[in-house]
Structure 1
Amino acid sequence: MPLSPKAASCRMRFFRTIHGNEHRNEEWKMRIRLSVLCVMISATGWLSAAGAQDDLAYWQELAKRKLAGFEVTAVAPSPIEGLVELRGTSPRGPQVLYATGDGRYVLAGLLWDVERSVNLTAGVLQAMRRQALERVDLGSAVIHYPASSEGTSRGTLLYFLDPDCPYCRKFHAELPKLTASGIPVSIVLYPNRRLHPQAVATSHAIWCSEDRRAALDRWMSEQSMPVPASDGCRAPLETARLMAETAGVQGTPFFVFPDGRRLQGYRSAEELIAMWRAQKP
């Protein structure tokens, strides 16, 4: 029996409604499936990043691919939630970077605790330099000036010196005040080839003298070139360069305290003595 136009129209609206609801239901089902999938992917990525935060091999490989010149040697938690602290070495010496857990974003700079007025990054670098220099055989690369009076046993003040540096010559007159105050000083001959090309030959001559301390003293005070004891002798300038990289030396005079603190440029003996005594045991 044929339907009336009104009944036919009603039936059409009914089927459209059912079809539309089915379509919307399928659409919502699809949306739910996609949402669940996205959550699963995000959770997997988050767990992978979280698991990688303390994975040294993961960060070493990432640095090799993305951070040219930076070699990760240790990974530590960062004071900032969501960031990991990367400790390592670069051509400029020890370096600290901060990275997001997935390694996409990396920060280079100083991290301060403003409530305590503490430079957290500097503290980490200080400890890294101290540990690195403790592994160096200083006896094979320094001219040692022992303390002439008894002082606290805190190691030695490491002093990078360019024999042609005018401020190094000025400081050399202050050296006896340090040793008299109980501070031993270990001098590393570190000539600046670019500024003082002749300083390399002078360094070899000083190092290869029978009495290195006396030869250095004469050169710094009188500019009297020492006579090497052996023609084939050479100063350990490559070792000095590696030590300078470890300490982050940028110029001379340059001082490194046993606790890892550093000073660049001319300083009076009184200033260095005060800093020495301020070191924590």
Structure 2
Amino acid sequence: HKITIFTDIDCPFCRKLHAQIKDLNQLGVSVDYVMLPRGKAGSKAFNKTVNALCATNPQAAMDSAMNTGHFETNIQATPECINNLNTQKTLAQKFGFSATPTILFANGEAVPGFISTEDIADIIKKIKST
């Protein structure tokens, strides 16, 4: 089962949801992120997110950013990484998502805001039974 979470490093509820990823994985739920930083290109929020995406190990960088609320590096963000983040922000806009976190389920159902691992599992069970 796969869910997509539209998230922001600076969002406290996104960080709380990120802390549940291991529990979700143990339930057989795969999680993809679409980054939706609150700032435009060049802003502190945008640059922080680009730094995490462009890191040598993006997953570890994202874990660090979500756990501490920041991620900085000496590595220069490439145009490819910047374009990747702009593409992710455009995707969120096409869906009409502006709130973080927003969880998108396989059936197209979107749930804005934080929900527990148990609630996510319940929604997935309902989707599977239909």
Tell me the TM-score range normalised by the shorter chain: 0.7 to 0.9
What runs of 5+ residues in structure 1 fail to find an aligned partner? Answer: 1-153
How many Å separate the matches in 1 of 2:46 and 2:56?
18
Q: Aligned in 2, Cα 1:190/1:273: closer, same or farther, shift over 3 Å?
A: same
Q: After the TM superposition, which residues 1-281 of structure 1 pair with which residues of structure 2 at under 5 Å, given as runs?
A: 154=1, 156-193=2-39, 197-227=43-73, 229-233=75-79, 234-235=81-82, 236-280=84-128
Q: Post-superposition shift, 1:224?
A: 4.8
How many Å separate the matches in 2 of 1:261 and 1:274?
13
Cα deviation code 1:15-61 (max 9, x no counterpart): xxxxxxxxxxxxxxxxxxxxxxxxxxxxxxxxxxxxxxxxxxxxxxx
Q: Which has the higher contact order (CA 8 A, sep 6+)?
A: 2
- Secondary structure (helix, strand or coil) at the match of 1:246 reads helix
Amino acid at match of 2:28: G
What runs of 5+ residues in structure 2 fail to find an aligned partner? Answer: none
Cα deviation code 1:252-279 (max 9, x no counterpart): 0011001100000111111111111211
Percentage of matched positions with identical amino acids: 26
How many Å separate the matches in 1 of 2:12 and 2:44?
14
1:215–1:226 CA contact under 8 A, matched in 2:
no
How many Å separate the matches in 2 of 1:261 and 1:232?
34
- Secondary structure (helix, strand or coil) at the match of 1:263 reads strand
Cα deviation code 1:172-204 (max 9, x no counterpart): 11111111100000001110127xx42101111
How many Å separate the matches in 2 of 1:206 and 1:228?
11
Amino acid at match of 2:8: D
How many Å separate the matches in 2 of 1:231 and 1:246?
25
Cα deviation code 1:68-114 (max 9, x no counterpart): xxxxxxxxxxxxxxxxxxxxxxxxxxxxxxxxxxxxxxxxxxxxxxx
Q: Aligned in 2, Cα 1:251/1:229: closer, same or farther, shift over 3 Å?
A: same
Kindly report structure 1 stretches of 4+ aligned residues shifted beyond 3 Å: 228-231
TM-score, normalised with respect to structure 1: 0.41
Q: Post-superposition shift, 1:245?
A: 2.4
How many Å separate the matches in 1 of 2:94 and 2:77?
30
Flag the structure with larger Rg.
1
Please tell me the root mean square deviation across aligned C-alpha atoms, in Å. Answer: 1.9
How many Å separate the matches in 2 of 1:170 and 1:161?
11
How many residues are aligned here?
125
TM-score, normalised with respect to structure 2: 0.85
